Amino acid sequence: MELKIIETTKKKQKPTSTPKFGTCFTDYMFVMEYGNGEWKNARIQPYAPFSLDPSTSVFHYGQEVFEGCKAFKNKKGEIRIFRPWENFKRMNASCARVCIPQIDEKFVLSALEKLVMLEKDWIPTDEGTALYIRPAVIATDPALGVHAAHNYIFFIILCPVGAYYAHGLQPVKLFVEKDYVRACKGGTGHHKVGGNYAASILSGERAAQMGYDQVMWLDGKERKYVEEVGSMNIFFCLDGKVVTPELGGSILPGITRKSVIELLRSRGIEVEERIISIDEIVEKTKSGALTEIFGTGTAAVISPVGHFMYDNVEYEVGNGKMGKIATEVYDELTGIQNGRLPDKFNWVDKLN
């Protein structure tokens, strides 16, 4: 497919400091449409709103998928995207689950590379900053009725970002949810569809009112086993190993999660992917066998957890501070991302 570039006549003022996560977008976006059985009209065009009929299917039935990855620029001007091919692969798996037609992963990756290079002056270079990349597909049939749509828009937008949490690398506080569930096996929890996040908002709001940053979800059946956190996968350092919930069909297969497992193993640290109950976590926190908890995600990167609340009791983890393992993993991962360290795992898509 041909990729057109439609120049903008009006460039925006670039921010002088790092904007709040996800609030400031660049001059261009990538768009292509699906209709009559094919993806077409691929273009990089000025960033602009879509005009959609109120009956458009995505507004009513949520037939939508999205992704999140990041481009980095270091002080030498080197530009890299972190494992973007993994995002497009996962996006196609999400599309399959909600009956959205498959995308050509190679084509959208090359379109993304062109878009990022066109917007290279928007990529911040300070430590902890990046250009966040948000690809998404929405169903656009202008008609009511629950079935797979015949028309879609795929788009990619870009925004310069710093830390996902307002307090940066300060440890976050998690609220363990017992009343609501995010996902269960057979549902869509292991795919990146907007509806998963809609289902999480009520708990997130309740947690925020109580002073917690995010919700830690338990499994949908027994409400006993830890699954993931609002916008991250979760890791527990206990008994001298690192444990993370196994991907059992209701947990998002995070690309940062997978990278962190590889990094830890390459450092000689034993990592177990297994079911882990909230009771075990409470017991090992009380006994001191659990020394650190941290979350992983594209937006959150590595996010230490200082406290969690379960059953009306708040527990402190690692004196409420960022631990040794989280710090080492953060340094190595961000070092690979911005070119401070060699790309020994071949994770980086170098654009210049």
DSSP state of 319: G
Q: Which residue is nearest to ligand COI (CB)?
A: 68
Nearer to ligand COI, 68 or 323 (CB): 68
**247, burial (CB in 10 Å: exposed 0-12, middle 13-18, buried 19+):** middle
Beta carbon of residue 256, minimum distance to ligand COI (angstroms, whole number): 7
Spatial separation of the C-alpha atoms in residues 72 and 83, rounded to whole Å: 12
Beta carbon of residue 116, minimum distance to ligand COI (angstroms, whole number): 16
55-84 footprint of ligand COI as x/- string (CB under 6 A): -------------x----------------
Beta carbon of residue 314, minimum distance to ligand COI (angstroms, whole number): 25
253-292 residues near ligand COI, rule: CB under 6 A: none
Spatial separation of the C-alpha atoms in residues 121 and 332, rounded to whole Å: 26
Nearer to ligand COI, 251 or 299 (CB): 299
Nearer to ligand COI, 86 or 280 (CB): 86
Beta carbon of residue 66, minimum distance to ligand COI (angstroms, whole number): 7
Within 8 A by CB and 6+ apart from 57, the residues are 63, 139, 140, 141, 143, 144, 149
Beta carbon of residue 68, minimum distance to ligand COI (angstroms, whole number): 2
Nearer to ligand COI, 68 or 160 (CB): 68
Spatial separation of the C-alpha atoms in residues 293 and 317, rounded to whole Å: 7
Beta carbon of residue 28, minimum distance to ligand COI (angstroms, whole number): 20
10-49 footprint of ligand COI as x/- string (CB under 6 A): ----------------------------------------
Spatial separation of the C-alpha atoms in residues 217 and 203, rounded to whole Å: 10
288-307 footprint of ligand COI as x/- string (CB under 6 A): ---------xxx--------
Spatial separation of the C-alpha atoms in residues 301 and 310, rounded to whole Å: 24
How many CB atoms are closer than 10 A to CB 53? 11
Q: Does 158 bind ligand COI (CB under 6 A)?
A: no
Beta carbon of residue 78, minimum distance to ligand COI (angstroms, whole number): 22
97-126 footprint of ligand COI as x/- string (CB under 6 A): ------------------------------
> In sequence order, what DSSP letters do the residues of 172-206 get, joined into one string?
EEEEE-SS--S--TTSSTTS--HHHHHTTHHHHHH
Please answer whether residues 242 and 269 qualify as being in contact, where contact means their C-beta atoms are separated by less than 8 angstroms: yes
Nearer to ligand COI, 57 or 231 (CB): 231
Question: What is the dihedral sign for C-alpha 170, 295, 90, 177?
Answer: negative
Please answer whether residues 114 and 62 qualify as being in contact, where contact means their C-beta atoms are separated by less than 8 angstroms: no
**Two tokens at 63?**
């037939």
The single-letter code of the amino acid at 274 is R
Distances (CA, A) of 333 to 114, 256, 263, 274, 323: 25, 9, 8, 23, 15
Beta carbon of residue 98, minimum distance to ligand COI (angstroms, whole number): 16
- Binding-site member from 231, 259, 291, 296 for ligand COI (CB under 6 A): 231
Residues at the site binding ligand COI, with contacts judged by CB under 6 A? 68, 197, 231, 297-299
